Chains A and B, each alone.
Chain A
């Protein structure tokens, strides 16, 4: 049990996918202007990434490794994730209209979210088993959501602060992201390994 707890803390805080691994920066900048949007995006990523973690693990184990095609991993994962997202979108639209209305517009954006692919690849790299993969995917996504929401909170205040013209928008966004990353580095060492 403590193994899972450690894994979650590690994924959310120490090895935060956004602020320690620097994956998924484009939705990080793009959808963090408003709190509502940030929340929506965070939830959508949690949902998709957990599913993607499970499916890519299965593809890796039962297809790529079985047929000795591991060198096709990246391209196959991209295809699988893209298909998955499309599939989820259709499924949600049919089966869960309220959820679809809340997350619908974010799903297509996730197709190209490198954080999703990154976590799936990490699962394999760390040689996690199925359960570990799912938990790690979920925790990483939660870390993504957390960072996004914190960032949106900060960015909303930009609207009411005096900002030098040259720093407005993405420029200050990146600086802020950097500072947040520094803060998150403070967690390093909390979990060994």
Chain B
């Protein structure tokens, strides 16, 4: 029986007069991968920002495992199990690839205030960081400085940081955008692998229909900041609501043009 890990109730944010996220009430279950679609500017990234706390909400609540986290700081939410990969790559550019991941492992282990030991001497932090690198197939680049990586590799590392964090709620914001055809599968395989973890909820903003078809258990459609549709991927894609939201165009066609 799936139970909701994450609940958003009437979640709303206004920028001046513009309502970017409009009373979204939605639950996300453990063991479920939800694809979030909608044209550019629909409010998908902003919805994520409200959940992970980068932007304060104007109205509504966010609950994680029944606890209200609406007023918590970003770092507090992270420690409770909200994790986020960003649409625009958001790394530590002058640190090495391994260090970027090690920092995440270290945060999870609560070792940030360890002030008198050598960072490199912590095998219990470096080891897991290396394992993540192996999973993302970037061990060769371990010591490379992030700013020297190709765009595709930076996108991969962006995802790797979230995998290293291993939160209860995974939020991917267009993870494969800007990746080459042979890079994207590595990331998609990792996300597919996460689906076997039945105690995690996965939220995935994605435009590619074939990806949604293979990965998603459920799809929600955002339109002008509001929840326009929610349900089984095949049904939603064919539904009238969506056809209407996209002004008569087929969803796939509409999304293909964003």
Instruction: Tell whether A and B belong to one assembly.
Output: no
Interface residues of A (CB under 8 A from B): none
Interface residues of B (CB under 8 A from A): none
